[in-house]
Amino acid sequence: MDFSETVFLVIAPFVVSFILFAAIIKGWAWNSKIGYGLAILFLLIGVSLAVAIYLNAEILVVSIIAIPFGGFVSIMGFGMIIDVFRYRQKNEGKFNGTIFAHYAKGNIVYHSLIFTYSVDGKIYQHPSDDYYKPKYIKKHFDTRKTYRIWVNPGKPDKFRVKRFYRLAEGIFAALLGLSFLWIPFDMLLSRI
């Protein structure tokens, strides 16, 4: 492993841990117990990586950290990407003016929109699976207009207004996970 890979492996878990702690303190986490657990887990990963690299135990780094972490993050990222393609049935719906508060991030409450739409002759009235800030809702949604929505054909009560919601985050997580998974293969190739 060269110096840049070493620095990345040690610094990345500490950075993620500090970001999680800051998010919990600011009140951005959905569940503070899970947030603290994840922050402590990443802190322990960073410490164990630092110790393993100090002891020059590259196999420990690969077997304990890189493969499970990279696998988890890449599965999560690819799951978010696949989720985009679940909402593939184009439909039309009408925003009925009702919003449903889902979660708060700092002092901003994110809302899903309740739409009325029809699938195979059956009328549905459900909140969307994507979330918006109140300013965005006031600016872009009107009760007099009909909007294109994307329905999950397997579960017609699930829909999104934006089809590619969270696609960028999914691609980033998948690439981050694959970069961690590449480390053991790089080590094996360098030994051949």
CA–CA distances in Å: residue 175 to residues 3, 57, 64, 73, 87: 21, 25, 20, 9, 23
Given the DSSP bridges, would you call strands 146-152 and 155-160 parallel, antiparallel or unpaired?
Answer: antiparallel
State the burial class of residue 130 (Cβ atoms within 10 Å of its Cβ: 0-12, 13-18, 19+): buried
3-state secondary structure at position 107: coil
Cβ pair 150, 90 in contact under 8 A: yes
What is the mean pLDDT for each group of 10 consecutive residues in the chain (192 residues)?
A: 70 78 68 72 76 70 73 84 83 81 71 86 85 83 85 85 82 88 76 66
The structure's pTM equals 0.57
Token representation of residue 138: 């006031």
- Compute the Cα dihedral for 64, 66, 69, 71 and give only its sign: negative
What digits encode the pLDDT tens for the residues 107-149? 777 888 888 888 888 888 888 888 888 888 888 888 888 888 8
Q: Give the DSSP H or E segment for 172.
A: helix 167-191
